[in-house]
Amino acid sequence: MIDRRMFMTALAAALAPAPAALGATSAADSPLVKVVRSPDCGCCGAWIDHLREAGFVVDVTMSDDVAAFKEQHGVPQALWSCHTALVEGYLIEGHVPAEAIRALLDQRPEAAGLAVPGMPIGSPGMEMGDQTEPYDVIAWSASGTSVFAQY
Protein backbone atom coordinates (compact mmCIF):
# COMPACT_ATOMS: atom_id res chain seq x y z
CA MET A 1 0.00 0.00 0.00
CA ILE A 2 1.32 3.45 -0.96
CA ASP A 3 1.21 6.08 1.74
CA ARG A 4 0.73 9.77 1.11
CA ARG A 5 4.45 10.66 1.37
CA MET A 6 5.43 8.03 -1.22
CA PHE A 7 2.66 9.22 -3.54
CA MET A 8 3.74 12.88 -3.29
CA THR A 9 7.41 11.97 -3.89
CA ALA A 10 6.51 9.94 -6.97
CA LEU A 11 4.24 12.71 -8.26
CA ALA A 12 6.94 15.38 -7.78
CA ALA A 13 9.48 13.24 -9.63
CA ALA A 14 7.07 12.67 -12.52
CA LEU A 15 6.27 16.37 -12.86
CA ALA A 16 9.83 17.70 -12.47
CA PRO A 17 11.36 19.21 -15.62
CA ALA A 18 14.00 17.14 -17.38
CA PRO A 19 17.61 18.36 -16.97
CA ALA A 20 17.70 19.58 -20.60
CA ALA A 21 14.69 21.78 -19.88
CA LEU A 22 16.67 23.39 -17.08
CA GLY A 23 19.50 24.33 -19.44
CA ALA A 24 21.79 21.44 -18.57
CA THR A 25 23.52 19.57 -21.32
CA SER A 26 24.70 16.02 -21.28
CA ALA A 27 27.91 14.79 -22.86
CA ALA A 28 25.78 13.33 -25.65
CA ASP A 29 24.43 16.82 -26.45
CA SER A 30 27.84 18.55 -26.36
CA PRO A 31 29.95 19.01 -29.47
CA LEU A 32 33.04 16.81 -29.65
CA VAL A 33 36.24 18.76 -30.22
CA LYS A 34 39.18 16.65 -31.44
CA VAL A 35 42.41 18.45 -30.55
CA VAL A 36 45.86 17.70 -31.91
CA ARG A 37 48.61 19.22 -29.78
CA SER A 38 52.24 18.92 -28.84
CA PRO A 39 52.94 17.07 -25.58
CA ASP A 40 55.32 19.87 -24.59
CA CYS A 41 52.83 22.77 -24.69
CA GLY A 42 51.22 23.90 -21.43
CA CYS A 43 48.96 26.56 -22.91
CA CYS A 44 47.25 23.90 -25.07
CA GLY A 45 46.16 22.13 -21.89
CA ALA A 46 44.80 25.38 -20.46
CA TRP A 47 42.79 25.98 -23.69
CA ILE A 48 41.42 22.44 -23.48
CA ASP A 49 40.35 23.12 -19.87
CA HIS A 50 38.60 26.29 -21.10
CA LEU A 51 36.62 24.25 -23.65
CA ARG A 52 35.67 21.60 -21.10
CA GLU A 53 34.52 24.27 -18.64
CA ALA A 54 32.33 25.67 -21.44
CA GLY A 55 30.66 22.27 -21.88
CA PHE A 56 32.53 20.84 -24.85
CA VAL A 57 33.62 17.22 -24.90
CA VAL A 58 37.31 17.16 -25.83
CA ASP A 59 39.36 14.30 -27.28
CA VAL A 60 43.11 14.99 -27.27
CA THR A 61 45.77 13.49 -29.51
CA MET A 62 49.39 14.20 -28.66
CA SER A 63 51.66 14.63 -31.67
CA ASP A 64 55.29 15.54 -32.17
CA ASP A 65 54.37 16.83 -35.66
CA VAL A 66 51.31 19.09 -35.32
CA ALA A 67 52.47 20.98 -38.44
CA ALA A 68 51.81 17.89 -40.57
CA PHE A 69 48.22 17.78 -39.28
CA LYS A 70 47.77 21.49 -40.10
CA GLU A 71 49.15 20.98 -43.62
CA GLN A 72 47.02 17.85 -44.17
CA HIS A 73 43.86 19.81 -43.28
CA GLY A 74 44.77 22.99 -45.20
CA VAL A 75 45.23 25.46 -42.34
CA PRO A 76 46.84 28.55 -43.94
CA GLN A 77 50.33 28.94 -42.50
CA ALA A 78 49.72 32.63 -41.72
CA LEU A 79 47.02 31.52 -39.24
CA TRP A 80 49.03 28.83 -37.42
CA SER A 81 49.21 28.66 -33.66
CA CYS A 82 50.21 25.90 -31.26
CA HIS A 83 47.28 23.45 -31.60
CA THR A 84 44.61 22.51 -34.11
CA ALA A 85 41.16 21.02 -33.56
CA LEU A 86 38.23 19.64 -35.49
CA VAL A 87 34.61 20.20 -34.45
CA GLU A 88 31.57 19.27 -36.53
CA GLY A 89 33.45 19.65 -39.82
CA TYR A 90 35.22 22.91 -38.92
CA LEU A 91 38.89 23.46 -38.11
CA ILE A 92 39.83 25.45 -35.03
CA GLU A 93 43.36 26.85 -34.95
CA GLY A 94 44.88 28.22 -31.77
CA HIS A 95 43.31 29.92 -28.78
CA VAL A 96 39.78 30.46 -30.13
CA PRO A 97 37.32 31.27 -27.31
CA ALA A 98 34.57 28.73 -26.66
CA GLU A 99 31.90 31.37 -27.30
CA ALA A 100 33.28 31.96 -30.82
CA ILE A 101 33.20 28.20 -31.49
CA ARG A 102 29.57 28.08 -30.30
CA ALA A 103 28.73 31.03 -32.59
CA LEU A 104 30.40 29.22 -35.49
CA LEU A 105 28.34 26.09 -34.81
CA ASP A 106 25.13 28.13 -34.46
CA GLN A 107 25.70 30.24 -37.59
CA ARG A 108 27.27 27.55 -39.82
CA PRO A 109 29.01 29.98 -42.21
CA GLU A 110 30.70 28.86 -45.42
CA ALA A 111 34.13 28.65 -43.82
CA ALA A 112 36.82 26.06 -43.29
CA GLY A 113 37.27 27.18 -39.70
CA LEU A 114 38.31 29.77 -37.15
CA ALA A 115 41.78 30.81 -36.04
CA VAL A 116 43.48 33.00 -33.48
CA PRO A 117 46.95 33.32 -35.02
CA GLY A 118 49.90 33.36 -32.69
CA MET A 119 49.29 33.26 -28.98
CA PRO A 120 47.76 36.57 -27.85
CA ILE A 121 47.96 37.37 -24.14
CA GLY A 122 44.53 37.13 -22.57
CA SER A 123 43.11 34.63 -25.04
CA PRO A 124 41.83 31.36 -23.49
CA GLY A 125 44.82 29.40 -22.29
CA MET A 126 47.09 32.44 -22.49
CA GLU A 127 45.86 34.26 -19.40
CA MET A 128 48.57 36.21 -17.57
CA GLY A 129 46.92 37.94 -14.66
CA ASP A 130 45.26 41.17 -15.69
CA GLN A 131 47.34 41.49 -18.87
CA THR A 132 45.40 41.29 -22.11
CA GLU A 133 45.87 42.37 -25.68
CA PRO A 134 43.16 42.77 -28.29
CA TYR A 135 42.94 39.99 -30.86
CA ASP A 136 40.78 38.88 -33.75
CA VAL A 137 39.19 35.51 -34.41
CA ILE A 138 39.67 34.92 -38.14
CA ALA A 139 37.34 32.84 -40.32
CA TRP A 140 38.89 31.41 -43.45
CA SER A 141 37.69 29.70 -46.60
CA ALA A 142 38.96 29.06 -50.12
CA SER A 143 37.99 32.63 -51.01
CA GLY A 144 40.00 34.30 -48.24
CA THR A 145 39.81 35.43 -44.62
CA SER A 146 37.56 37.72 -42.59
CA VAL A 147 37.24 38.81 -38.99
CA PHE A 148 34.66 36.58 -37.28
CA ALA A 149 34.92 38.16 -33.80
CA GLN A 150 37.08 40.61 -31.86
CA TYR A 151 38.21 40.35 -28.27
Beta-strand runs (E) in 56-143: 57-62, 83-87, 90-94, 113-116, 136-141
Could you tell me if residue 17 is inside a domain?
no
Could you tell me if residue 8 is inside a domain?
no
CATH at 89: 3.40.30.10
Domains contained in the chain, number: 1
Least confident among 5-14, 56-65, 89-98 = 5-14
Could you tell me if residue 11 is inside a domain?
no
What residue numbers bound the domain in which 129 lies? Answer: 29-150
Q: Is the pLDDT of residue 89 over 50?
A: yes
Q: Is the pLDDT of residue 145 over 80?
A: yes
Helix (H) or strand (E) holding 32: strand 32-37
Could you tell me if residue 126 is inside a domain?
yes
Q: What pLDDT shows up at residue 18? A: 38
Q: What pLDDT shows up at residue 27? A: 55
Q: What is the pTM of this model?
A: 0.81
Could you tell me if residue 5 is inside a domain?
no
- Give the Cα separation of 151 and 78 in Å (integer): 19
Could you tell me if residue 64 is inside a domain?
yes
Could you tell me if residue 9 is inside a domain?
no
The CB density around residue 63, as the number of other CB atoms within 10 Å, is: 15
Q: Is the pLDDT of residue 120 over 70?
A: yes
Could you tell me if residue 21 is inside a domain?
no
The CB density around residue 46, as the number of other CB atoms within 10 Å, is: 14
Q: Is the pLDDT of residue 13 over 60?
A: no
